[in-house]
Structure 1
Amino acid sequence: MYIPKYYKVTDFEEIREFIQHHSFGTLVSTRKGRPIATHVPLQLIKEEKDYYITGHVAYGNPQWRTFETSGDVLVIFQGPHAYVSSSWYEEENVPTWNYQAVHVYGSASILKEEALKQDLTKLLDKYEGHRENPISFESLSPELLEKEMKGIVGFKIHVKEVQAAFKMSQNRNEKDYRNIVEKLRNEKDPNSKQVANAMNKNLKGSL
């Protein structure tokens, strides 16, 4: 991913938190020389000193069969993004687009049944734990689980490289920056408001 120096993020804790909040990612590999992608909920986990991304796809999805032949895979996580009008600047310039994105490269392997069960348990706990009547892996009937487990394939990606770009108008002066935040807050698009919130965090930091 091309990342100008203004927008490059290297703080892994900040990247880890971003992935935690934007964990519905895009998994990309190659099949017979052609890119193939799946959009899927993922988890970033740490085992000893290494990080892994885990998830699962349908058994009928041919992508999992590419893991042994396509080399490293790419996982893309995307956050809020918004159009930025150059009419919001003090001086004449061109419009742009603000966004947050993380690319993770690594080698993928298939999870064995027990490891897949553990991963599914963690996934359900993450998205069900706060609900009034949460579903857990243990609360589902053995018959249903046996049937559904046959229809999915779990995978584990050993993280080798992480690239992160948070393009949030860091190259603008403080007056422009504050004005962009205010204008984005007034937009009707929820994404614009989320970008404004992300930018506002920087006002308490370097600006």
Structure 2
Amino acid sequence: MRRTPHYLMTDPEEVRRLIRNNPWATFVSPTSRGLIASHYPVLLDDDHEHITIVSHFGRPDEVLHELGRHEILVIIQGPHDYVSSSWYAPGDLVPTWNHVTAHLYGTPEILGEEENYAMLSRLTDHFEQHYRNGRSLAEDEPGTRRAAKGTVGVRMRVDRFDARAKLSQNKSADVIDNITAHIAGHNPALAREMGRARGGGPASTTQRPPSEHNG
């Protein structure tokens, strides 16, 4: 991503928050056959020292990605939207796109069969808890264990990350307020991120490069 200093997001806790709130990830692998991309949900693993994610691949994606043989890129895309120059001061004519995005780099570890099933159970429980009468894999463990054999679980410790919170920080306070008000009506998640950045809260950025952080 373009390295504009005042958009850098270098706090690992903010990257964790971005992952929690936006678990649908893009996995990109530089394989011997060229680039391969797939999309799967991710969860944060219980690792307080490093950012670590867990997920699963449907077979034969793990073969196509050559998992475990090289570093991969995992893209986490948070709220984003077009910003019209009609919301700027007169004479300011260049529109843009606001977004919160993180690129995570690491070499995934392939989970064993029991770890994979435990991870799939946790993944299911995590999302089903938000639904009335949510289901669990434990309701039919023999059947869901058979289905789990069609997947490969992975755990990836993030060795480095490159994250951006581009939220109109280069504009004046009144223009930011105007942009936020326009966006709030159709993209409240992005408006909330802009509010966090404006308030100097956890979404605030620093000018240190993300390479100074090991997850």
**Structure 1, residues 88-111: CA drift from partner, whole Å, max 9, x if none?**
112423111101101100011210
In structure 2, the CA distance between the partners of 1:109 and 1:132, relative to structure 1 (3 Å rule), is same
Question: What TM-score do you get using the length of structure 2 for normalisation?
Answer: 0.85
- The CA distance in 1 between the partners of 2:131 and 2:86, in whole Å, is 44
Q: How does 1:19-58 map to 2 (within 5 A)?
A: 19-47=19-47, 49-58=49-58
More strand by share: 1
Q: 1:111 is aligned with what amino acid?
A: L
3-state SS, counterpart of residue 166 of structure 1: strand
Match of 1:59 in 2: 59
- The CA distance in 2 between the partners of 1:64 and 1:47, in whole Å, is 28
Whether contact under 8 Å (1:37, 1:63) holds in the other structure is no
**Structure 1, residues 28-62: CA drift from partner, whole Å, max 9, x if none?**
10222511011100112133633321111111225
- The CA distance in 2 between the partners of 1:114 and 1:46, in whole Å, is 17
**Structure 1, residues 151-189: CA drift from partner, whole Å, max 9, x if none?**
111111121001110110001111111111112234xxx
Whether contact under 8 Å (2:56, 2:153) holds in the other structure is yes
Match of 2:101 in 1: 101
- The CA distance in 2 between the partners of 1:121 and 1:104, in whole Å, is 24
Match of 2:209 in 1: none
3-state SS, counterpart of residue 37 of structure 1: strand
In structure 2, the CA distance between the partners of 1:113 and 1:185, relative to structure 1 (3 Å rule), is same
Match of 1:12 in 2: 12
In structure 2, the CA distance between the partners of 1:63 and 1:174, relative to structure 1 (3 Å rule), is farther
3-state SS, counterpart of residue 139 of structure 1: helix
Match of 1:89 in 2: 88
Greater Cα shift, 126-135 or 46-55: 46-55
3-state SS, counterpart of residue 46 of structure 1: coil
Q: How does 1:1-207 map to 2 (within 5 A)?
A: 1-47=1-47, 49-63=49-63, 66-69=66-69, 71-90=70-89, 91-142=91-142, 144-186=143-185, 190=186, 192-205=187-200
Structure 1 segments of 4+ aligned residues over 6 angstroms from their partners = none
After superposition, the CA RMSD in angstroms is 2.1
- The CA distance in 2 between the partners of 1:13 and 1:54, in whole Å, is 17
Question: In the comparison of the two structures, how many residue pairs are matched?
Answer: 201
3-state SS, counterpart of residue 138 of structure 1: helix
Q: 2:173 is aligned with what amino acid?
A: E
Question: What TM-score do you get using the length of structure 1 for normalisation?
Answer: 0.88
